[in-house]
Amino acid sequence: QYSLIKDVVSSLKRHRMHEQQFTHHPLLVLSNFGLQQIQVKLMASMFQNMFPSINVHRVNLNSIKRCLLVSYDTETQLLDFRHYSVKVVPVGMSKGLKKLLQEKFPNMSRLEDISELL
């Protein structure tokens, strides 16, 4: 079973599809591939070799735009693929400061001073 990209995009209220998402490889997450069966090890090795490894100490978090989750169900012996879009946003600050950091300039016509925004 699968879904076409046009069906996924049409079902979303706000989709975030842009070509910059596909300039870098996705972050690969394998779930339930720790079994000792040879076919499971072979599948895990195949998926790991499809994408380059990521050095966690040197990776730029802003370059990671997608995440690919591959999950193996041991009972049904089926693979589930999930492809996520990742967005890095600042946390722990005011809404106005977040907009400034993301280069989205807020409407300041109601404010008398910049300190009201911050």
pLDDT 10s digits, 29-88: 999 998 888 999 999 999 999 988 888 888 887 778 889 999 999 899 999 999 888 877
Of 37-41, 61-65, 97-101, 102-106, the one with minimum mean pLDDT is: 102-106
Strands 78-85 and 27-31: unpaired
Q: Tell me the DSSP string of 83-114.
A: EEE------SS-HHHHHHHTT-----TT-SSH
**In the predicted model, what is the mean pLDDT of residues 20-37?**
85
The answer to whether the beta carbons of residues 15 and 55 sit under 8 Å apart is no
Output the CA angle 43-69-50, nearest 5 degrees: 45
Q: Where are the domains of the chain?
A: 5-90
Coil, strand or helix: which one is 21? helix
Predicted model pTM: 0.65
**In the predicted model, what is the mean pLDDT of residues 2-23?**
76
**Whose CA is closest to 79, among 94, 69, 67?**
69
